[in-house]
């Protein structure tokens, strides 16, 4: 849910409880009111509504995939998304990297005393809407309230379960020399969107986060019979970290062309102004795919059919089995080693 579209009123009486209080985490009346009127009302479904200590649900035939992640982004609202929608997108995307169809999510909230109740409601509604778009149910969760000054507003943990309805073994161990390297869209927007809001930077054009689910294009690739070797979502550390991690796990040399890597001009200009490398900047709705060379064109055609991956591009290939190495051929034709980022370029971006 775009925060600009928010109009609903929080079901907790704001005049009486305008902010989250320690008592909202104390196990008594106020906590039960919060669980019932905020989380229960937003996330309602038959599994959650059972109000039991554990969720009970049916699982389709197939191998299960499970992942968990925590979200501590600051600010919690940013152009193109917020901590709530990002928590859903990030978790379903992690499942998609195994080729799994997401089914269920749990969510844990660490809420700082004093957080405006309307802010919490906006985040919860955003999670609800994102889950609906992704076709997943939030079936269980937890809330904790911490003392003012101990939680920086709001932290969210999500765990996802999905089902793998295919026989592919998608992972770095399957990467082979000759494989094509494909990114699903332009890079660096999420990190730059966070930086702009947090530090009050103004650019000629507004930069919005790329936060989005990538499940549909991944499932479409699997259904089409593409020989997918490996998938990796490009979050912290960006493309550079993902390629180095895969090169290390597979024991290969990867070569990519700078001119082929899609980066929007405004993002590139913002990175240059701040002394950052767009290939190190985080994304929240992008992936890199390693596919058999003969499937590269078909992969690009399929990805182009989805808005989240409409600008997919083939950026290089796996050269050979070797000591792990990622080489970037620059715009002027020179080769350089593309390392992982050192240190922390953009703190608290996810």
Give residue-wise pLDDT tens across range 147-160.
Answer: 999 989 999 999 99
Angle (CA) 73-201-338 rounded to 5° is 65
Provide CB contacts within 8 A for 344, sequence distance 6+: none
pLDDT for 101:
97
HSE-up (13 A, CA, CB side) for residue 83: 29
pLDDT for 20:
95
Average pLDDT score over the chain: 93
CATH code of 172-337, in short, is 3.90.650.10
Grade residue 345 by pLDDT with cuts at 50, 70 and 90: low
- The listed range with the strongest mean pLDDT (204-208, 236-240, 294-298) is 294-298
Residue 303 has pLDDT above 90, yes or no: yes
pLDDT for 195:
86
pLDDT tens-digit map of 86-132? 999 999 999 999 999 999 999 999 999 999 999 999 999 999 999 99
Grade residue 344 by pLDDT with cuts at 50, 70 and 90: low
pLDDT for 206:
83
Q: Is residue 215 within 8 Å of residue 134, measured between CB atoms?
A: yes
Residue 204 has pLDDT above 80, yes or no: no
- What value does the CA radius of gyration of the chain take, rounded to a whole number of Å? 21
**Cα–Cα nearest to 109, from 80, 84, 134, 133:** 84
Residue 6 has pLDDT above 60, yes or no: no
Mean pLDDT, to the nearest integer, of 276-280? 93
Cα–Cα distance for residue pair 346/236, rounded to 1 Å: 9
Mean pLDDT, to the nearest integer, of 184-200? 90
pLDDT for 15:
60
pLDDT for 4:
43
* φ, ψ for residue 278, nearest 5 deg: -60, -25
Grade residue 8 by pLDDT with cuts at 50, 70 and 90: low
Provide CB contacts within 8 A for 2, sequence distance 6+: none
Q: Do domains 3-164 and 172-337 have the same CATH topology?
A: no
pLDDT for 343:
67
The fold adopted by the segment(s) 3-164 is 60s Ribosomal Protein L30; Chain: A; (3.30.1330)
Token pair, residue 18, equals 């305008």
What is the domain partition of the chain in residue ranges?
Answer: 3-164, 172-337
pLDDT for 63:
94
Cα–Cα distance for residue pair 239/186, rounded to 1 Å: 11
pLDDT for 16:
80
Percent of the chain with pLDDT over 70: 95
Mean pLDDT, to the nearest integer, of 287-308? 98
Distance from CA of residue 310 to its chain's centroid?
18
Partners of 142 in the beta sheet? 108
Residue 188 has pLDDT above 70, yes or no: yes
Grade residue 84 by pLDDT with cuts at 50, 70 and 90: very high
Residue 237 has pLDDT above 50, yes or no: yes
**Cα–Cα nearest to 225, from 63, 62, 99, 96:** 99
Q: Is residue 257 within 8 Å of residue 54, measured between CB atoms?
A: no
Beta strands 154-164 and 287-291, pairing class: unpaired
pLDDT for 274:
85
Record the pTM. 0.93
Q: Which H, E and C letters describe the chain, residue by residue?
A: CCHHHCCCCCCCCCCCCCECCHHHHCCCHHHHHHHHHHHHHHHCCHHHHCCCCCCCCCCCCCEEEEEEEEECCCCCEECCEEHHHHHHHHHHHHHHCCCCEEEEEEEEEEEECCCEHHHHHHHHHHHHHHHHHHCCEEEEEEEEEECCCCCCCEEEEEEEEEEECCCCCCCHHHCCCCCEEEECCCCCHHHHHHHHHHHCCCCCCCCCCCCCCCHHHHHHHHHCCCCEEEEEECCCCHHHHHHHHHHHHHCEEEEEEHHHCCCCHHHHHHHHHHCCCHHHCCCCCCEEEEECHHHHHHHHHHHCCCHHHCCCEEEEEEEEECCCEEEEECCCCCEEECCCCCCCCCCCCC
pLDDT for 202:
74
pLDDT for 2:
45
Mean pLDDT, to the nearest integer, of 35-51? 94
Cα–Cα distance for residue pair 214/222, rounded to 1 Å: 13
* φ, ψ for residue 95, nearest 5 deg: -65, -40
Residue 309 has pLDDT above 90, yes or no: yes
Residue 54 has pLDDT above 50, yes or no: yes
């Amino acid at each position: 849910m775009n925060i600009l579209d928010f109009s609903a009123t929080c079901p907790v009486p704001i005049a009486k409880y305008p902010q989250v209080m320690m008592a909202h985490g104390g196990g008594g009346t106020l906590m039960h009111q919060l669980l019932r009127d905020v989380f229960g009302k937003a996330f309602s479904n038959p599994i959650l509504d059972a109000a039991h200590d554990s969720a009970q649900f049916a699982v389709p035939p197939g191998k299960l995939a499970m992942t968990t992640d925590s979200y501590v982004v600051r600010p919690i609202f940013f152009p193109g998304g917020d901590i709530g929608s990002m928590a859903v997108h990030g978790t379903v995307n992690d499942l998609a990297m195994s080729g799994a169809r997401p089914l269920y999510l749990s969510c844990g909230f660490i809420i700082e005393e004093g957080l405006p109740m309307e802010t919490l409601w906006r985040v919860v509604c955003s999670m609800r809407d994102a889950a609906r778009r992704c076709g997943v149910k939030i079936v269980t969760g937890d809330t904790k309230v911490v003392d003012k000054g101990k939680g920086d507003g709001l932290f969210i943990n999500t765990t996802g379960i999905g089902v793998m309805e295919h026989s592919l073994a998608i992972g770095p161990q399957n990467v082979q020399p000759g494989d094509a390297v494909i990114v699903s869209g332009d890079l660096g927007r999420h990190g730059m969107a966070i930086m702009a809001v947090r530090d009050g930077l103004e650019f000629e054009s507004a930069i919005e986060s790329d936060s989005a689910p990538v499940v549909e294009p991944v499932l479409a690739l699997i259904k089409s019979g593409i020989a997918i070797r490996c998938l990796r979502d490009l979050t912290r550390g960006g493309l550079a970290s993902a390629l180095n991690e895969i090169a290390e796990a597979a024991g290969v040399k990867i070569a990519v062309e700078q001119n082929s890597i899609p980066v929007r001009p405004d993002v590139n200009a913002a990175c240059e102004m701040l002394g950052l490398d767009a290939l190190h900047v985080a994304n929240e709705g992008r992936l890199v795919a390693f596919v058999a060379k003969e499937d590269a064109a078909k992969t690009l055609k399929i990805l182009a059919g989805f808005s989240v991956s409409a600008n997919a591009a083939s950026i290089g290939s796996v050269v050979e089995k070797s000591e792990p190495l990622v080489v970037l051929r620059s715009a002027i034709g020179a080769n350089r080693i593309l390392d992982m980022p050192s240190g922390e370029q953009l703190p608290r971006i996810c």
